[in-house]
């Protein structure tokens, strides 16, 4: 009897342990699954955004999370509850900041029924996102887009300013080490959303510029910068191409975007202008290291140089850090302006792009045996002065055989300024060796 009751106890104990182990394992498995779930950053309960816009915003904010570790959520919700209390409660309930390693959270709540919008800032971001700044970007950046019912565009445009803020603040405030507190305490600001109420435009017939146009290629860019500084959104200004004027009629440009652009380009320094073969098109480019200074496209209409923003929209893209890249899939006639750049597969100019200074384009040919040849030499460039010609096949670099453009540019970019090198080429069946110096 005694032996049976002991073995019964042992059996019960073993079963209890196994069950406990199974429960703990189940909890851990569920937790692991939860952690692996893709964060849901956009929650539209109202149906204001279509699926494409929701996907776009979701992807944009996912990149913000990856690059700046900020968990920025959007909720569009029906009803007319007090938006301040509602937002604070949602912030807690949704555990905004959870996806960020430093608990950095932002929550945008839009109530179309009450026509209100609020951006709530988590504790961890309060040192950077001051209430005055949030109020400013809502009224100056977001609401003008909301007035035209371009809700997704308004949110993206505001996020661009938030990114700028993070970039500028990164030097002075290390949020991740200073303040790691989840949740929010009511920081942020709210505004009337003014959804669909139409933009409040001033009569821009009265605006004018004092710029004297000399009809140089850079003149339309100078005029555009002046327009941004004066916050003139007139789409019919004379320095726009006809296509650009048509495009700008439906554009919304906010005063804060204009101020931001004017401020950015003031620090861009001097630019080079590259013209096409018949001098009807131009690309004005800043040093490649200035990643936020995107190039300008210029076109001659009649005898006058004009700014071609339409093609720029098509050909230039920006990442979440507001750094430009070339859209490699775009079809346009301005490719000559980038032919000297060593672009990666996403269209970003590579660093140490010394090949830029040579003014030549090299392409690969794999039809017979692999080889690299010069498809273009910019007239008056260093490459031309060094004796290179269009059609030359590059066979070796410092006596080392190469057969692709990548190898050529890698070795060229690796040279120090003033370093001598030998380039072996084949021209119409003849082998030549050129002695060159890296500028």
Interacting residues with another protein (CB under 8 A): 84-85, 88, 130-132, 134-136, 185-190
Between 179 and 271, whose beta carbon lies closer to another protein?
A: 179
Q: Which of 103, 295 has the CB closer to another protein? A: 103
Minimum distance of another protein from residue 11's CB (angstroms): 22
User: Which CB atom, from 89 or from 289, has the smaller least distance to another protein?
Assistant: 89
Q: What residue has token string 């394992």?
A: 25
Closest contact distance (angstroms) between CB of 293 and another protein is: 27
CB of 85 to another protein, least distance (A): 6
Nearer to another protein, 137 or 341 (CB): 137
- The β-bridge relationship of strands 324-326 and 360-365 is unpaired
Q: Which is nearer to another protein, 119 or 307 (CB)?
A: 119
Asked whether the beta carbons of 196 and 254 are under 8 A apart, the reply is no
- What angle, rounded to 10 degrees, do the helices at 151-169 and 255-266 form? 40
Q: Which is nearer to another protein, 84 or 213 (CB)?
A: 84
Q: Which is nearer to another protein, 48 or 130 (CB)?
A: 130
Closest contact distance (angstroms) between CB of 144 and another protein is 17
Q: Which is nearer to another protein, 13 or 186 (CB)?
A: 186
In the complex with another protein, the residue whose CB is nearer, 188 or 217, is: 188
Of 132 and 212, which CB lies nearer to another protein in the complex structure? Answer: 132
Cα–Cα distance list, 190 to 120, 233, 339, 373, 377 (Å): 8, 26, 48, 60, 56
**Cα end-to-end distance, the chain, whole Å:** 99
Quote the longest CA-to-CA distance of the chain. 113
Q: Closest separation between CB of residue 178 and another protein, Å?
A: 18
Q: What's the rounded Cα separation, in Å, for the pair 7 and 249?
A: 87
Candidates 184, 230, 179, 150; CA nearest to 72 is 184
Least distance in angstroms from the C-beta of 299 to another protein: 39
Q: Of the two residues 130 and 199, which places its CB atom closer to another protein in the complex?
A: 130
Report how far residue 236's alpha carbon sits from residue 244's, in angstroms, rounded to the nearest whole number. 9
CB 265, min distance to another protein, A: 22
Provide the minimum distance between the beta carbon of 420 and another protein in the complex, in angstroms, as a whole number.
57
**Least distance from another protein to the Cβ atom of residue 180, Å:** 18
Give me the least distance between CB of 404 and another protein, in Å please.
Answer: 56
Please state the closest distance from residue 191 (CB atom) to another protein, in A: 11
């Amino acid at each position: 009897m005694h032996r049976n009751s002991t073995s019964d106890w042992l059996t019960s104990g073993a079963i209890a342990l196994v069950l406990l182990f199974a429960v703990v394992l189940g909890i851990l498995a569920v937790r692991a699954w939860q952690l692996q779930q893709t964060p849901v950053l956009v929650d539209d309960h109202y149906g204001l955004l279509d699926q494409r816009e929701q996907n776009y915003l979701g992807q944009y904010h996912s990149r913000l999370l990856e690059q700046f570790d900020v968990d920025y959520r959007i909720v569009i919700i029906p009803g007319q509850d007090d938006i301040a209390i509602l937002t604070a409660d949602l912030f807690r309930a949704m555990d905004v900041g959870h996806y960020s390693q430093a608990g950095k959270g932002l929550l945008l709540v839009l109530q179309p029924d009450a026509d209100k919008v609020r951006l709530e800032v988590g504790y961890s971001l309060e040192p950077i996102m001051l209430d005055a700044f949030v109020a400013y970007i809502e009224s100056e950046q977001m609401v003008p887009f909301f007035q035209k019912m371009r809700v997704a565009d308004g949110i993206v445009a505001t996020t661009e300013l938030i990114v700028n803020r993070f970039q500028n603040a990164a030097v002075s405030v290390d949020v991740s080490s200073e303040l790691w507190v989840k949740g929010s305490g009511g920081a942020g600001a709210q505004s009337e959303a003014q959804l669909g109420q139409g933009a409040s435009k001033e009569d821009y017939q009265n605006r004018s510029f004092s710029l004297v146009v000399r009809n140089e290629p850079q003149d339309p860019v100078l005029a555009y910068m002046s327009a941004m500084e004066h916050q003139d959104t007139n789409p019919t200004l004379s320095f726009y191409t006809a296509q650009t004027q048509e495009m700008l009629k439906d554009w919304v440009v906010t005063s804060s975007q204009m101020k931001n652009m004017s401020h950015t380009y003031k620090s861009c320094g001097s630019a080079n202008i590259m013209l096409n073969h018949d001098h009807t098109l131009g690309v004005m480019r800043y040093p490649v290291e200035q990643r936020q200074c995107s190039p300008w496209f210029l076109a001659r209409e009649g005898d006058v140089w004009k700014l071609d923003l339409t093609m720029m929209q098509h050909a230039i893209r920006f990442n979440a850090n507001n750094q430009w890249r070339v859209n490699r899939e775009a079809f346009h006639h301005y490719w000559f302006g980038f032919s000297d750049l060593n672009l990666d597969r996403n269209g970003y100019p590579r660093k140490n792009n010394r090949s830029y200074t040579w003014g030549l384009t090299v392409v690969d040919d794999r039809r017979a045996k692999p080889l690299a040849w010069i498809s273009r030499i910019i007239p008056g460039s260093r490459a031309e002065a060094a004796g290179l010609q269009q059609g030359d096949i590059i066979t070796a670099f410092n006596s080392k055989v190469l057969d692709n453009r990548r190898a050529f540019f890698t070795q060229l970019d690796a040279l120090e300024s003033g370093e001598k090198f030998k380039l072996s080429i084949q021209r119409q069946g003849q082998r030549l060796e050129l002695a060159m110096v890296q500028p």
